Amino acid sequence: MTGRLGSSGARTAATVLTPAVVGAAAHIVPAVTWIPAVRRCCFPRLAGMGRPDHVALTFDDGPDPASTPLFLDALDALGVKATFFLLGSSVVQHPSLALETVRRGHELGVHGWTHERPWLPTPGADARLVRRTAGLLHDLTGRCPCWYRPPYGILTSGRWAAARAAGLRCVLWTAWGRDWTSVATPASVVTTVAADLRGGGTVLLHDTDRVSAPECWRAALAALPEIVSACRAAGLTVGPLAEHWAESTGMR
């Protein structure tokens, strides 16, 4: 009798446990795309691979009145447009800065409402907050955003579904500057970006230190001219994601 009860209890536990395990796996399996080699090889469009004569320049985590205006000025001086992935909570605080970013010819994407890690499955909250951010950007600018990049680049099933429901396309990156760290320098940002920079790639930088090391944005800002110059020296145009999958015009 004891043996039978033990066996039945084990089966019951397995029955309860299996849906939880399956649910957790379904939630986190898409996060394997965080690994650069995996997404470049298996999911090139998710990685941000576009037309071979173009490099997409993107910035995450803004807007921030302490730093974003300096990036806008630097991009003006370089004659470059970019895509800024914004946090809804920051846009609410600084709507005029989001509008100024658009006024200067840049593109806005959705980075979520806050910058949280997705430890637990929360598909309902994911859908609500992505939709809320996308709606905020549309109401503010009159333009529907096209792109979604999840915080930390961690794409879960809930975040993927939320982006699709909001009519957004998920885009990660092929090259980054590791510019969010306390040890980042202009030289380290340039070197790190250059290691993976190719035609058709998407570069990730940050125009704020709001969710990273204090003042780290200064390294990215100082590195910008050299990154753009290197691209142009290689015969590549630099611009926003909106131009990244367009037909090549042959213009530099």
Active site residues: 60, 206
For residue 206, give the 3-state DSSP assignment.
strand
**169: part of which helix (H) or strand (E)?**
strand 169-170
Distance CA 80, CA 67 (A): 17
Q: Which residue is it, tokens 């549309």?
A: 138
- One-letter amino acid at 65 equals P
Distance CA 59, CA 106 (A): 11
Widest distance between CA atoms in the chain: 82
Alpha helices in 34-111 (DSSP H): 36-42, 44-47, 68-78, 88-93, 95-103
Q: Which residue is it, tokens 């173009």?
A: 54
Supply the DSSP symbol for 31: G
CA dihedral (155, 156, 159, 162) positive or negative: positive
